[in-house]
Amino acid sequence: MDLTSTIVLIISALLLLLSFLKDRKKTLASLKVALNVAKRLLPSIAAIILLVGIIVGFVPPAWVARSIGTQSGALGVVIATFIGAVLFIPAIIAFPLAKSFMDMGAGTMATAAFISTLTMVGFVFLPLEIKELGKRFALTRNAMSLIAAVIIAIIVGVIL
Amino acid sequence: MSGETVAEHPLSEKSWRKKIRWDWVFLLATIPAFVVLVILFRGNKGSKATHVSWEYFKEMAIILPAVLVIMGLVTVWVEKDLIVRFLGEGSGMKGIVLSFILGSIPMGPLYIAFPLAYVLLKKGARVANIVIFLSAWACIKLPIEIVEFQFMGWKFALARYLATLVVVVVMSLAVEKLFFPHGWAAKGVEEEYVGIPSEKVTEEEIVEEIEED
């Protein structure tokens, strides 16, 4: 087990212990929340794990490298941005997927754009967002998030 | 954190399309695809696919329970009223910082954030603050960053986090200035709202829901 996992496990165990000492009922409730979230997430996580296997195993790395690789430049970033905006995947399972693309040669910029739109722009959620926050707010937020994703990608690309 | 489809949103009408659990459909499509591909290409490619999936599974199995426990604890211990109070009052730099912090606190799936954002806007919160709040909620939540850290490495995670922080603030101010110069509730904007009254929305406490189980 690596360092990050160990630290996270220790922190969560300590917090759990602290919570348990303070209030048993609340601790139990929080564990139920965790279990509930786990139940909701498990099908997607299982599917993503298999999907990552399929992608890494069967999609030729040359494809990925050509379409969203470092050499693909601006077009690659745009492609990744829009793929991320159409697909809607929660952040927690977006990272393994993004990493598999990166391992196959996707550029840093494209990967950053992909993650940003994957989580911030959800066309799946657009009707709901319009219903709750109004057309003007929902549309401007989504459109601006698309632009923001590209800018974030460029910054990440410049930094790294 | 919004892994579920719109289907589970309690406010949406129950049409057959919304009742489908897309995550299960997704899983049930992936399993046969995986099995068939691995059997068809039993050589190099098949074993590579199983190996990669297994590695990802191990990594997830180690990190996920810890992340979930932290999320559960925060959900129970940090009250939702706190968010409404601080964001509603927030203005200027303080409001921006607060929006970021509050959006980063894991409180449940994104669809919980939309009604919450509506309540906040209605109470007079700045449009910019709410855009920041939603963006933070969507992609730079703290426990989720652990997963990014784990998979993408600290350099990438940190660079993306900082870039998102800066860009989101600029974007939110631009959205406010360009499209909502007179606030969210200005004439013509509110008429577009066709949702359900906010009272129904605030009842929707995840913790309560779960305690009822």
Question: Does one domain contain both A91 and A23?
Answer: no
Does a structural domain hold residue A130? yes
Question: Does one domain contain both A145 and A69?
Answer: yes
**Tokens at A5, concatenated:** 């996992």
Does a structural domain hold residue A49? no
Residues of B in contact with A38 (CB under 8 A): 64-65, 68
Does a structural domain hold residue A48? no
pLDDT tier for residue B28 given thresholds of 50, 70 and 90: very high
pLDDT of residue B6: 44
CB B110 within 8 A of CB B83: no
Gap from A45 CA to chain B (nearest CA, Å): 9
Residue A66 belongs to domain spanning: 59-159
Does a structural domain hold residue A105? yes
Residues of A in contact with B174 (CB under 8 A): 144
Which residues of A, range 120-139, sit inside 8 Å of B by Cβ? 120, 122, 124-125, 127-129, 131-137
Q: How many domains does chain B have?
A: 1
Does a structural domain hold residue A125? yes
Q: How many domains does chain A have?
A: 2
Most confident stretch, A82-91, A134-143, B1-10, B19-28? A134-143
Whether the pLDDT of residue B202 is over 60: the answer is no
Q: Which residue has the higher pLDDT, B31 or A89?
A: B31
pTM here is: 0.70
Question: Does one domain contain both A7 and A33?
Answer: yes
Question: Does one domain contain both A78 and A116?
Answer: yes
Average pLDDT, chain A: 85
Residues of A in contact with B184 (CB under 8 A): 134, 137
Of B109, B115, B138, nearest to A120 by CB-CB distance is B138
Residues of B in contact with A7 (CB under 8 A): none
Question: Does one domain contain both A13 and A71?
Answer: no
Question: Does one domain contain both A149 and A73?
Answer: yes
CB B37 within 8 A of CB B143: no
* CB hemisphere CA count around B99 (13 angstroms): 32
Question: Does one domain contain both A81 and A31?
Answer: no
Does a structural domain hold residue B1? no
pLDDT of residue B15: 59
Gap from B32 CA to chain A (nearest CA, Å): 10
Residue B141 belongs to domain spanning: 6-212
CA distance A16 to A31: 9
